[in-house]
Amino acid sequence: MAIVGPDTPLRQQLIGHLADGNSATGPIVCDPHGKGSYLDELRRMAGSEGTVDTVVVLATAPGAGASQWPAIDEVPLVANAVSWAPDALLVVVTSSLVYGARVDNPIPLTEEAPPAPNPDLPFAARLLAIEQRGEQWRDDHRSGDSGSAVVRLAVLRPALVLGDTGRWPDDALVSGFGVPRGDGDPPMQFVHVDDLAGAIAFACGHRIEGTFNVASDGWLAGADVRALAGMPQHLLIPSRYARFRQRRAAAAMGGLLGYATHPWVVANDRIKAAGWQPTLTNEQAFVAVHRGALWTRLSPKRRQELALVGSAGAMIGLVTAIAAAARRWWRR
């Protein structure tokens, strides 16, 4: 089998899971951003073993640079490029970003929901294009008039992946909690990188076919995630300042802003019915990666003491400012 994707913690974890599964041979790893051609590697594998039986495409971006976004031609589906074994399996790992984030999204989204990426995030549209390329590959390999399949396609759509260092846009979305409440406070959902690697290895080992969401069970309210991270909760702030913060958030997050302010959590029932189970909850996955701020590690009594001190300091500052303003007004 072959793994096509950049050198990331996800790829490293996947190789480990495949090794734990007692694979007869280790996977050939092809880096589309590295030197050489991954198609040459696939041809070499086909030449030594006759045909290719399993290919995993990690259609993920290791960074925010446009040159590192997945391109459609990265998928090894070029006609006659390699020889495919009967019942060959292609596993394409994209993201639940392809569903799009909207105010009226059902909670949760199932695989039956039509994918509709937000138009201002081209990255999500490119992921959907890779999925469609995989479907075209599957349809092109149907045999006979009956349309019976001689190949299999599994599309995995993970929620926000935690633990895959530098993974974009997941890291950017996880850090986008500073958007004011007026712009929305959607639930959030995660999957730990080790669980995702396990789901990919499960798809390979059990030869599953179809589209599957991959996520921890359920989801968390935005306030719960901020509490786990030790971040301050949304405060009641003047509308003018709130609009200023919203403009700053829009400028900083660009096409990701909609995904930080509208729901897009998914149901994982289909892949669980096939036999895969997440090992970590949303809370455990988040805490495993984010230890949280010092505030979250203080005792309740210490938090109360610091809160009282902070409130007193803020009151003194406010009184001082009012007094200074009054003096300036009086001297006019």
Amino acid 319: pLDDT: 57
Query: Would you say the C-alpha torsion 223, 225, 228, 232 has a positive or negative sign?
Result: negative
* 8-state DSSP, 218: S
Per-residue b/e over 63-96, b at no fewer than 16 CB within 10 Å? eeeeeebbeeebbbbeeeebebbeebbbbbbbbb
Distance of alpha carbon 25 from alpha carbon 18, whole angstroms = 10
Do 22 and 153 lie in one domain? The reply is yes
Amino acid in position 164: D
Do 274 and 321 lie in one domain? The reply is no
Q: Within a domain: residue 216?
A: yes
In tens digits, what is the pLDDT along the chain, a chain of 332 residues? 788 887 889 989 999 898 876 554 456 676 655 544 555 666 665 555 557 788 898 887 666 555 555 655 555 554 455 677 778 899 999 999 999 999 999 999 999 999 999 998 888 998 999 899 889 888 887 765 445 557 899 999 999 999 988 777 888 888 765 555 555 678 999 999 999 999 999 999 999 999 999 999 999 998 888 788 776 555 444 445 445 445 554 555 567 888 988 999 999 999 999 999 999 999 999 988 876 544 444 444 454 454 455 445 555 555 566 666 666 666 66
Do 113 and 61 lie in one domain? The reply is yes
Query: Would you say the C-alpha torsion 282, 132, 51, 210 has a positive or negative sign?
Result: positive
Instruction: Give me the residue label for tokens 């090894």.
Output: 76
Digit-coded pLDDT (tens) for 145-187: 445 557 899 999 999 999 988 777 888 888 765 555 555 678 9
Q: In the listed set 280, 307, 323, which residue is the last one of a domain according to the structure?
A: 280
Q: What φ, ψ does residue 322 adopt, rounded to 5°?
A: -65, -40
Amino acid 303: pLDDT: 44
Alpha-helical runs (H) found in 149-274: 170-174, 193-206, 222-229, 239-253, 257-261, 269-274
Amino acid 186: pLDDT: 87
H helices then E strands: how many in the chain? Answer: 11, 10
Do 204 and 327 lie in one domain? The reply is no
Containing structural domain, residue 332? 298-332
Burial of 38 (0-12, 13-18, 19+ CB in 10 A): buried
Strand partners, 89: 54, 152
Q: What φ, ψ does residue 40 adopt, rounded to 5°?
A: -65, -40
Q: Within a domain: residue 322?
A: yes
Residue 59 belongs to domain with CATH number: 3.40.50.720
Please state the domain count of the chain: 2
Do 60 and 209 lie in one domain? The reply is yes
Do 80 and 203 lie in one domain? The reply is yes
pTM greater than the 0.85 cutoff: no
Do 209 and 308 lie in one domain? The reply is no
Do 19 and 140 lie in one domain? The reply is yes
Digit-coded pLDDT (tens) for 242-289: 454 455 545 555 678 889 889 999 999 999 999 999 999 999 999 888
Distance of alpha carbon 155 from alpha carbon 130, whole angstroms = 10
Residue pair 233/162 in contact (Cβ under 8 Å)? The answer is no
Do 160 and 304 lie in one domain? The reply is no
Give me the sheet containing 84-93, strands edge to edge.
28-30, 2-4, 52-58, 84-93, 151-158, 210-214
Amino acid 161: pLDDT: 94
Q: Within a domain: residue 101?
A: yes
Amino acid 300: pLDDT: 45
Q: Within a domain: residue 228?
A: no
Q: Within a domain: residue 113?
A: yes
